[in-house]
Each structure stands twice: as C-alpha cells, then as structure tokens.
Structure 1
Amino acid sequence: MNTCQKCQFALANPVGRLSVSRIGLFSDARFPGRSIVSLRDHYDDIADAPPAVAELFMADIHCAARIIRRATGADRVDLALSSKADSHVHAHLIPRRRDRDPLPDNGPWEDPRERRPLEPLAEAIAIGLLSAAFDVAGAGLSGS
C-alpha cells in the first residue's frame, strides 16, 4: 500500500521497496530522477521511530541514493529529510549534475528554474528507468 492509513501521505509513482521504506519518483523537471523515500510505517517525527527503524531508514536512504545516482548519471544526490509539510517521515533524494544544474554548488531549493512536473513521456521513462534500477539492485516492487 502506498498511502499511509494514519495520515493519508501518498507515495506517487512507486519504483522500489527497501527494508523499512518505499521509493517513488517525484516528478520535477529540474531534477530528473528526484525521488521520495518514505517510511512504510507512520511516524510524525524521526525521533519517534525506534532506533532500529531510524537506522534502517538511513541505510535505505543510502542504498536508494546510490541506485538513483547510478541510474541518472548524477554527480551527487542531495538529501532533505522531511516530516514538516506532511505528517509522515520521508526524505527527498535530489540527483544533481554539474553539467545541467544552473547552480550546482547550491542547494536544490535555490535553483532558479521554475518548478514543473516532468512531461508525461519523460516521467514514464524516468519511472521505467528507476524501476529497472531498483529491480537490478534487488529492491524492486515485486517484494511489496
């Protein structure tokens, strides 16, 4: 299930599943491959999660970032851990490329480009690419 029964946080465009989280493409034309890693269980704050869950979540983020970096050809993947906007712990993984970002040394929130979703074909390609990358890594959706 990709919607939390407690808070209704919904993970769009699922592409992978790891030990305690799910991964979905966040459609952002500025950063193709930008993804959300969301805890499967509901916690309002990472400090509310049991230490073992928090540690596994960070391991999931690490694994997902490596997969996303390889799949997108990114130089690095920026991380933003969030539960403020939505009452559900999740992380944004934002692939960064020096050859495409107008401000590659700044945070993604400082990007001057207008935020818009990927075009439908580009979104479908990104979902397919990330799904295949997570499948190859043994973290595909077949286990969900």
Structure 2
Amino acid sequence: MEIDCIYCSKDKNLKELMSEICKLEGSILYLFRDQKHLGRCVLAYKYHATELFEIPRYNYEIYMKELKFVANKLKELFNCDKVNYAVYGDLINHVHFHIVPKYKDGIQWGEPFSDKINPKFLKDEEFEKIKNLILKKVTN
C-alpha cells in the first residue's frame, strides 16, 4: 500500500512549505519557510505514523526527548518568551509538531499562532543563515 504523505515522499509540496535542517535519531527537523514567527520549525517523526499512540514506546520516548531538546535550543537561540507547540494532522497525516517561538510584544501573543495572517518569507540568504544557526545549535 502506497502512503500519500509529504513527509514520507519528500515531494515538492514539502519543499515549498519547509526546508530540512537535520535528521535526529527519531525525527527530522525542518525550518518552516513562513518565518513571521522567527525560528518556527517542524519536528516530524522519522517514520510514518498518523497518531502519537501508534508510535512504539521506545521510539515515542526518543521523539519526545528530541522535541524537548529542540524546543529548548530554539528558546536559547531566539531568546523568546514562550514556545508554542501544535499538533494537528488533519491535512498532513503524519505525526509532526510545529515548534513556534513567541514574544510578549510580538504578533499573536496571547493567542494561538495562525497561518491566517500574511506570511513572511525571508530572502534566501537570511533563511539559510537562520537554518544554519539552528543546525549548529542542535548538533553541538
């Protein structure tokens, strides 16, 4: 049975939404192309699963440890006031967490982050710079 999943197929739709930063033991870290929330990343489970409860316990523990680690590194790197997390999967049926740095004086403080406001796409050089900063932070 073929799985229709952008995280598994790594098709052009995935590349339009985000860019891979690195692979971890149980997950893959991506930088979201829309950077209205500077540092917004996605941590996708390395293997196909549509629900958290489908992940074997050992892999789940690794994935959650990596989520905690990445969120902490993003907080350190971007000096944000809060990190928001989102898990949906209605449209992209693969376990993944959005990890979103937020600031008290920034957009959407005190409310869920949303893609309903205008996106902010950085110039390629700036996007790559942020991507490399995150890579260095999570791999050192």
* Other-structure match for 2:84: 78
What letter corresponds to residue 40 of structure 2 in structure 1?
R
Change (3 A) 1:76 1:117: same
| Aligned residue in 2 for 1:139 | none
Once the two structures are overlaid, the 10-residue window that deviates more, 29-38 or 117-126, is: 117-126
Aligned residue identity for 2:77? A
For the Cα contact (< 8 Å) 2:45–2:63, is it kept in 1? yes
What is aligned with 2:126? Answer: 122
The question of 1:102 aligning with 2:107 is answered yes
**Distance in 2 separating the partners of 1:112 and 1:26:** 15
Conserved? CA contact 1:20–1:56, under 8 Å: yes
Cα pair 2:21 2:30 within 8 Å, conserved: yes
Q: Matched residues in 1 for 2:139 and 2:107: separation?
A: 32
Number of matched pairs: 130
> 1:15, 1:131 within 8 Å by CA — same for their partners in 2?
yes
Given that 1:32 and 1:118 are in contact with CA atoms closer than 8 Å, whether structure 2 keeps it comes out as no
Which consecutive segments of 4 or more residues in structure 1 shift more than 6 A? Answer: none
Instruction: Give the aligned residue type for 1:61.
Output: L
The 1:112/1:84 distance shift into structure 2, 3 A limit, reads closer
Q: Do the aligned residues in 1 keep the contact of 2:83 with 2:100 (CA within 8 Å)?
A: yes
Q: Deviation per CA, 1:105-129, whole angstroms, max 9, x where unpaired?
A: 21112x8741232232321111111
Identical counterparts, % of pairs: 20
Q: Is the 8 A contact 2:6 2:92 kept in 1?
A: no
The aligned residue for residue 142 of structure 1 is none
Point out which structure has higher relative CO (alpha carbons under 8 A, 6+ apart). 1
Unaligned runs of 5+ in 2: none
- Structure 1-normalised TM-score? 0.78
Counterparts of 1:4-19 in structure 2, within 5 Å, are: 6=3, 7-9=5-7, 10=10, 12-19=18-25
Q: Which one of 82, 89, 95 corresponds to residue 89 of structure 1? A: 95
Q: Tell me, yes or no, if structure 1 residue 33 matches structure 2 residue 33.
A: no
- Superposition RMSD in Å: 2.1
Task: Give unmatched runs, 5+ long, in structure 1.
Answer: 137-144
Tell me: CA distance 1:112–1:45, structure 2 relative to 1, closer, same or farther (3 Å).
Answer: closer
Residue identity in the other structure for 2:127? E
In the TM superposition, what is the alpha-carbon distance from 1:42 to its structure 2 partner?
Answer: 0.7
